[in-house]
Amino acid sequence: MHFSFSRRAAGLMVFGAGLLVAATPASATICDLQTVSSCTVNGGIYQVGFLQPAGTGFIDSFVRIQQNQFEQGYNTDARPVQFNEKTDPNFTRDLLLSEVSTKTINGILYREFFLDVNEPNGGKNLITLDQLEIFKSNSGDLNSYSNGGIANSGTTGALAGATKVYDLDNGGDNYVQIDYSIGSKGSGSSDMAFYVKDSLFAGATNVYLFSQFGDLAKANGNDKYESQAGFEEWFSGKSLPSPPISAVPEPSSLILLGTGLAAAWRKRRALLA
């Protein structure tokens, strides 16, 4: 098998004077993978990662999500699906912790997940990851996600029968900006790697991943960051090679936007069914 890794050097604008604004309790942290190769939000590491396995169907997706403009969903064997998940049981399914690969970073063991986005080129190659929540459980077939509506920063969801171990939006309305043109440019390979500490999964057999994409587009009135083209898919697997991890910047090197700027970028998220 063969893979290559592509990353962007840290952008000077990230570290420039005047662009780092003190965070407030309702501030948003933007992990912009267009300008930095990696960043840390709430203890989770997001990295530009071009992982290209050889051979069609080599990766083993555990959830595929597709809807134009705005999409969300999570992995499960339960049917019917709850949101915008694809229904093929080969690609939207229960995920055992034993299937999730590991990587040691700075002496700490992490579980790793890979994201493959499918967006057009020609100026519409951007998409936002607006929510990422990881849950652990000892049960399969879970099918009841709820959050009472994402109306305020930091208000996030729950999955009945599972315990949340990671939340991108913990403490603020945070999000990750992803550039399809930097990564794999097609299905079957990754554009981003995500790492979360293995110790959080103690005592669990099953893993659930909820993600939401494209919400930023609803706020700014254009399609620059919305979901388009094909499906987004998450995968992992112990048989896959891992992209090398670059140095992870401290949280102070991220762009932090205060309440006023965050509100200008994003509007309230729609209530979930």
What digits encode the pLDDT tens for the residues 254-265?
Answer: 444 443 334 333
Does residue 3 form part of some domain? no
- pLDDT tens digit sequence for 134-158: 999 999 999 999 975 443 334 579 9
Distance CA 140, CA 93 (A): 9
Euclidean distance between CA atoms 132 and 213, whole angstroms = 9
Q: What is the span of the domain harbouring residue 44? A: 12-265
Whether 240 maps to a domain, the answer reads yes
Residue 66 lies inside a defined structural domain of this protein = yes
66 or 12, greater pLDDT: 66
Within a domain: 273: no
- What are φ and ψ of residue 183, in 5° steps? -90, -130
Residue 202 lies in a domain: yes
State how far the Cα of 102 lies from the Cα of 204, in Å rounded to an integer.
15
Number of structural domains found in the chain: 1
Q: Is 5 within a domain?
A: no
Check pLDDT > 70 for residue 26: no
Q: Would residue 173 count as lying in a domain?
A: yes
Note whether residue 6 is domain-resident. Answer: no
Mean pLDDT for 214-243 is 68
Burial of residue 28 (number of CB atoms within 10 Å: 0-12, 13-18, 19+): buried
